[in-house]
Structure 1
Amino acid sequence: MTNNWIDLEVATPGLVVDLAVLDRNLDEMAGIAAGAGVELYPHAKTHRMAEIGRRQIARGAHGLCVAKLGEAEAFAAAGVKRLFVANPIVGPQKAARALALSRRVDLLLATDSADAARSIGPTFAAAGATARVMLAIDSGLGREGVSPAQAPDIAAAVSAVPGIELVGIYTHEGTTYSAKDGPDLTGKAQAAARLMVGVAESIRARGIALPIVSLGASASAREVAHVPGVTQIRPGIYAFNDVGQIALGNATLETTAIRVIATVVSHPEPGRACIDAGSKSLSTDLVPASAHRDEYPGMGLLVNAPGWIIERMSEEHGWLRWHGTGEPTALPVGTRLEIVPNHVCMAFAMLRRASVVEGGTITTSWDGFGPGSSE
């Protein structure tokens, strides 16, 4: 892996990806999926970069998961042939776009209500086509998704909509990010997987085939893949890792493929300084689990400035404070800092260009999708 991140010739704030570490992470998860006999659909909203999506497919992923139709359209244009839009789409306008996309790729759509299904089904039915749809299940996060108890009735109602074929269920088991330690993470992950398998069985009892049972979180992917009855996993952050994954025990600095490089632009007092990376570079996310925030405080890990934390952020400034023991170590203006983001998805979304490192040298750069990809 790269050992001299701060010496790389990248303008700051700059996003840097170590290609060897990225490939190692892609290969590891592809191996886990293959060993468990499940499909791997990495959540590509993490990066929204064509080169990385194609690389994931080339290294063993079966397709890509995305958050929005715009992302799916962009990845389809980049040559990806199997896509799952894991976010309910509603209305005839998006139905028309989805229909057009389904003629180019193997497409899965999402819903969590019969009303939403009825808003897209007629467009497909009128064209003599069928939308292959996944039903969102709330496994405890409290976001979109139907409750496990409601799932059989809603699945039957969705299946009855002309132009719709219900082919699976999916969830984002985001509650696993609250795990306090390894055993807690294992328990939460396995509970979510067993819940989803049970929901699938209850829906199949209604006469619906339902071949796909899909779970999606990097926190839990290594566990849920091996639960009998799970057929698909959709991790995203695993490709790069971040402080959240380090805190959970899923990653180390050596398996984290990404850094944001920033420059100290102000050091007015011994115990405070500012860098040129603010919320538009790193976001204001803390590590997900409150249990880990004492060990990993602040809004990103300052690898080469121990004792300093990013305490606050404005749009273009990271506010550094000394939280170490003894007198603050100096951070002269011009010092370059190596930062692991707390939430890697936000760093990609904010900076939208990654410098790619091979053998300690920047060899190319990858750009993220432009306007429209969030529609």
Structure 2
Amino acid sequence: MTAPQTIDDLPTPVILVDEEQLDRNILGMQRACDEAGVELRPHIKTHKLVPVAARQLAAGARGLTCAKLGEAEAMLASGAREMFVAHSLVDPRQAPRVAALAERLDDFRVAATSGEQAGALENLAARTGRKLAVMMAIDTGLGREGARDAKAAARLAAVIARCTHLDLRGFYTHEGWFYGAPFTPGDQRVETMIESLCAARDAIDPGLPVWPGCSVTAQDVAARSTGRVQAVRPGAYVFGDLALTAVTGVMRSGEVALHVLATVIDKPSPGLALIDAGSKTFSSDRTPAGIFALPADGRDFSVSRVNEEHGYVTGAGADALRVGERVPFVPAHVCTVVNLADEVVVRRRHEVAARWRVDARGCSQ
């Protein structure tokens, strides 16, 4: 009988997922939502993996949120019956794909983000031959898509009402601006965000749901929802990263379920070690302090610079590293890391439990 493959057998760089911690993260968020009476509709743009989506649904998630149609198409294999594509669709060439998704799902929703976009979406919807359920985007501080205030939301609602192929079914926001600084549960900004979102909803139709979405705020939003919030849509919580640990502090470093295992390949000068993982592994995303990754074991060094295939490791502990040493790192932003990989290796402690192909890798259309 062949011995199980271990982590030591793997070439680097490689993306490792701790199966036990992944399950704890999935169940922890689901528990928080269940206790608050709020639906969980997780965003799959973080993991892009059918096996993870299936676990989220099995744990109790009501449906899935996707960034693009390609992600939604890839996630059909998870068994999801409800999906929301939270992106501004305008291209009428997408009509056959939208129609096919709507046909296969019990509840399929798309986003209405402005009057002009809603007009283009109406044209797309007309080509599907069906009426599309839409969630209206409300900008609560990110400065991206969505109505900026209740009056703008009312104007957008009027545009949607005039569209014969669009049906307003709720409101959503992405409060991603919480990612930039430490976060403490009870932050007044969360209450302000909820009030802003609900004010826009209440001015149009108090009976419609609101679905905010951000891993930083999700549990806090659920806890203080008091019937005002019907669903949350976090994504990065399943794996964790430096944005959730080192920057915002909503996760502990030991709760991170995904690491990049890299090898020290050179030490060209004092205070500098090079690893075999660069921007094509970590992406170009970094923390506000300019860090691309930190060692999972807490040693005093960081990936402070990247080229395509090299990571520059600096810091007080860099000189103690040895050429050939393998180091697990926590990336600054996990979503982009997964999208760069063909597969992730699932581990149970030190053994390889499975290899999961990244089903929605590169699904940017």
Is TM (by shorter chain) over 0.5?
Answer: yes
Give the whole-Å Cα distance in 2 for the aligned partners of 1:372 and 1:162: 33
Partner of 2:313: 320
Q: Any gaps of 5 or more consecutive residues in structure 1?
A: 1-5
CA deviations over 1:240-279 (Å, ceiling 9, x no partner): 1111111222111221111100001111222111101001
Q: How does 1:26-105 map to 2 (within 5 A)?
A: 26-105=26-105
Structure 1 position 227, deviation (Å): 2.1
Give the whole-Å Cα distance in 1 for the aligned partners of 2:349 and 2:302: 29
Partner of 2:218: 221
Cα separation, partners in 2 of 1:7 and 1:364, compared to 1, 3 Å: closer
* Amino acid paired to 1:334: G
TM (normalized to structure 2)?
A: 0.91
Q: Does 1:175 align with 2:168?
A: no
Cα separation, partners in 2 of 1:189 and 1:277, compared to 1, 3 Å: same
Structure 1 position 7, deviation (Å): 4.9
CA deviations over 1:80-130 (Å, ceiling 9, x no partner): 221110111002112332122101012110121233223233454566521
DSSP-derived class of the 2:273 partner: strand
Cα separation, partners in 2 of 1:122 and 1:244, compared to 1, 3 Å: closer
* Amino acid paired to 2:356: W
Give the whole-Å Cα distance in 2 for the aligned partners of 1:7 and 1:354: 12
Partner of 2:242: 243
Give the whole-Å Cα distance in 2 for the aligned partners of 1:200 and 1:313: 44
Partner of 1:356: 346
Give the whole-Å Cα distance in 2 for the aligned partners of 1:372 and 1:278: 18
DSSP-derived class of the 2:104 partner: coil
Identity %: 37
* Amino acid paired to 1:308: F
Partner of 1:3: none
Cα separation, partners in 2 of 1:191 and 1:352, compared to 1, 3 Å: farther
Structure 1 position 333, deviation (Å): 1.2
Structure 1 position 236, deviation (Å): 0.3
Cα separation, partners in 2 of 1:359 and 1:303, compared to 1, 3 Å: closer
TM (normalized to structure 1)?
A: 0.89
Structure 2 contact 134–167 (Cα < 8 Å) conserved = yes
Q: Does 1:272 align with 2:262?
A: no
| Aligned partner of 1:160 among 159, 162, 167 | 162
Structure 1 contact 241–258 (Cα < 8 Å) conserved = yes
Structure 1 contact 173–217 (Cα < 8 Å) conserved = yes
Structure 1 contact 123–163 (Cα < 8 Å) conserved = no
Structure 1 position 308, deviation (Å): 1.7
Structure 1 position 231, deviation (Å): 0.8
* Amino acid paired to 1:93: R
Give the whole-Å Cα distance in 1 for the aligned partners of 2:284 and 2:188: 29
Q: Does 1:343 align with 2:333?
A: yes
